[in-house]
Amino acid sequence: MAEYGTPPEVDRVAASRAAVAARRARAAVKAAISAGERNPLDVLRVAGEDPASVEGGIRVTEYLTSIPSIGVTKMHRFMEELGISPAKRLGGLGRHQRRRLRGFLTDRLAAQTGRHNRLVVLAGPTAVGKGTVAGHIRTHYPDVLLSVSATTRAPRPGETEGVSYYFVDDAEFDRLIEAGELLEWATVHNAHRYGTPRGPVEEALDSGRSVLLEIDIQGARKVRRAMPEASLVFLLPPSWEELVRRLIGRATEDGPEQQRRLETAKVELAAIDEFDFEVVNTDVSTAAQEVVDLMQTRKPKR
Ligand SMILES: Nc1nc2c(ncn2[C@@H]2O[C@H](COP(=O)(O)OP(=O)(O)O)[C@@H](O)[C@H]2O)c(=O)[nH]1
Ligand SMILES: Nc1ncnc2c1ncn2[C@@H]1O[C@H](COP(=O)(O)OP(=O)(O)O)[C@@H](O)[C@H]1O
């Protein structure tokens, strides 16, 4: 049989069956968005990760009109504002287009649900000042919950259990993972494990508080998967030279470790396109204010 090959009409039948199945699968995703069963931001994430997926095959126009409260007229306006051609499918969006669409929808969805509280992830390269900015927010904006992570690294002088971190051993960290008590976790700088306790974050969001997570980039990616409505903020240094100055000035790492971290920082800076917002940390209190502002729903007139 094999040497004769498949007759072309059989190929055509198979191809048209596959096309029908793909159309049905796309329709099912759109119906799930309309019914509020699938988070539109999650659909966008899957399309970005796998353009060949069912999600990736959905046209942006159809995707937008599947979202309750976005009709055809609004959809056309949004496409124009976002500079996306009507023929585009979700999987064919460029990184910048996807990012703009995500930021835009994050705002809209927050406005719709009336939730002014936001889950904000603050990440960025080593020594950019994440800890400093997060500390400033803890002191000056007490309404915002700054999540306290669990870590397997040892406390440094001056660090307080339950404030800086929850310091745990490997066995306890394993137990937290097993019990599903961590929203995300990662091994950072190839050394220790760090994770975000799930309970306090969910309780705070449920009670209307904003939550800030100061975690590494791997963790930011995992939060995006677990909670697609989270806003990812990338903290940038005013310049590369200033980043090096801050790392050396902090004097908490020896020379070889500083070199390793600067290498990692180059890779981390390349992840900026995955983030929704950028804040430059020139002045600590200005950067903190900008991060807190992002927790408020922006006015629809934007
Ligand atoms: N994924 C993840 N990263 C975390 C968490 N807590 C802290 N980190 C990151 O772990 C890294 C190391 O933190 P730390 O040991 O305090 O050292 P330093 O910030 O480099 O002085 C930083 O990049 C933090 O952003 C967490 O819960 N999850
Ligand atoms: N806006 C800023 N201007 C000058 N120095 C800063 C600023 N933000 C942070 N720093 C300093 O830079 C160093 C690294 O900050 P840190 O918060 O430890 O970074 P990260 O948590 O991102 O690793 C610290 O010595 C801190 O005091």
Q: Identify the CATH number of the domain in which residue 124 sits.
A: 3.40.50.300
pTM, to two decimals: 0.77
For residue 221, with 0-12 CB atoms within 10 Å meaning exposed, 13-18 middle and 19 or more buried, which class applies?
Answer: middle
53 lies in the same domain as 178: no
**Claim to verify: residue 133 and residue 76 sit in the same structural domain:** no
Which CATH number do you get for residue 7? 1.10.8.50
Domain edge (last residue) among 113, 136, 158? 113
Query: Do 56 and 146 fall within a single domain?
Result: no
Query: Do 91 and 136 belong to one domain?
Result: no
Q: Please give the residue that has the higher pLDDT: either 174 or 276.
A: 174
For residue 235, give both structure tokens.
Answer: 């903290």
Asked if 205 contacts 117 with a C-beta cutoff of 8 angstroms, the reply is: yes
- pLDDT cut 70: percent of the chain above it: 94
Sequence-distant (6+) residues with CB within 8 A of 175 are none
Name which residue leads in pLDDT, 11 or 170: 170
Beta bridge partners of 187: 193
Q: Which of 82, 113, 144 is the last residue of a domain?
A: 113
Q: Mark whether 10 and 91 lie in a shared domain.
A: yes
98/149 same-domain check: no
- Ligand 1 contacts CB of residue 216 (under 6 A): yes
The response to whether 47 counts as a known ligand-binding position is: no
When pLDDT is averaged across residues 191-217 and rounded to a whole number, the result is 91
Instruction: Give the structural domain span for 9.
Output: 2-113
Which neighbouring-strand residues pair with 39?
none
Residues 128-146: tens digit of each pLDDT: 999 999 999 999 999 899 9
Distance CA 71, CA 168 (A): 51
Per-residue tokens: 266 = 């180059």
Cα separation, 44 vs 102, whole angstroms? 8
Nearest CA to ligand 1 atom 5: 215
Q: Which of 247, 250, 269 to mutate to test the pocket of ligand 2 (most atoms within 8 A of CB)?
A: 250
| Residue 15 pLDDT exceeds 90 | no
Give the number of residues written for the chain. 302
Number of domains in the chain: 2
Question: Is residue 298 in a domain?
Answer: no
At 115, the pLDDT band (50, 70, 90 cuts) reads: low
Q: Is residue 300 part of a domain?
A: no
> Distance between CA 129 and CA 217 in Å, rounded?
14
Measured from the CA of 130, which atom of ligand 1 is nearest?
Answer: 25
Atom 15, ligand 1: which residue's CA is nearest?
153
Q: Which of 113, 131, 148 is the last residue in one of the domains?
A: 113
Whether residues 142 and 231 share a domain: the answer is yes
